């Protein structure tokens, strides 16, 4: 199997990156739609530039939809598309694995 045939590559192209999994995690919580400002608060270590870039890439890949709410101060909301919803089991498995790994590391350090 060549490197180009590896099926994990396209998946990581879409959800890989320092903040994309964190953004997806937060969008999968609660009612789903999150405003840009709310995402800024939920992912405070991401710069505005990187957060915006990751949101645009996820939108371009069909994972998120972007809703503009016009007004004097326009607001933008993001939510998962039906394709993005198919990532829920993947993200839940990653969360479970991450918690298990963290618990093992913590108990090993005691």
pLDDT at 72: 87
pLDDT band for 19, please (50, 70, 90 cuts): very high
Check whether 51 has a pLDDT greater than 70.
yes
pLDDT at 3: 64
d(CA 14, CA 11): 5
Bridge partners for 76 per DSSP: 68
27, with CB counted inside 10 A (0-12, 13-18, 19+), is: buried
Q: Which overall architecture, per CATH, does domain 3-109 show?
A: Orthogonal Bundle (1.10)
Q: Where do the domains of the chain lie?
A: 3-109
Which tens digits make up the pLDDT trace of 53-91?
Answer: 999 999 999 999 999 988 888 899 999 999 999 999 999
Beta-carbon contacts of 11 under 8 Å, excluding residues fewer than 6 positions away, are 90
pTM, 2 dp: 0.86
d(CA 97, CA 37): 29
């Amino acid at each position: 199997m060549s490197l180009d045939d590896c099926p994990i590559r396209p998946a990581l192209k879409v959800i890989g990156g320092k903040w994309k999994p964190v953004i997806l995690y937060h969008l999968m919580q609660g009612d789903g739609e999150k405003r840009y400002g709310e995402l800024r608060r939920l992912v405070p270590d991401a710069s505005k530039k990187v957060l915006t870039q990751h949101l645009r890439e996820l939108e371009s890949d069909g994972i998120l939809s972007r809703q503009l709410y016009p007004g004097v101060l326009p607001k933008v909301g993001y939510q998962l598309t039906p394709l993005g919803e198919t990532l829920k089991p993947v993200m839940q498995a990653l969360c479970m694995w991450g918690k298990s790994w963290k618990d093992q590391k913590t108990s090993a350090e005691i």
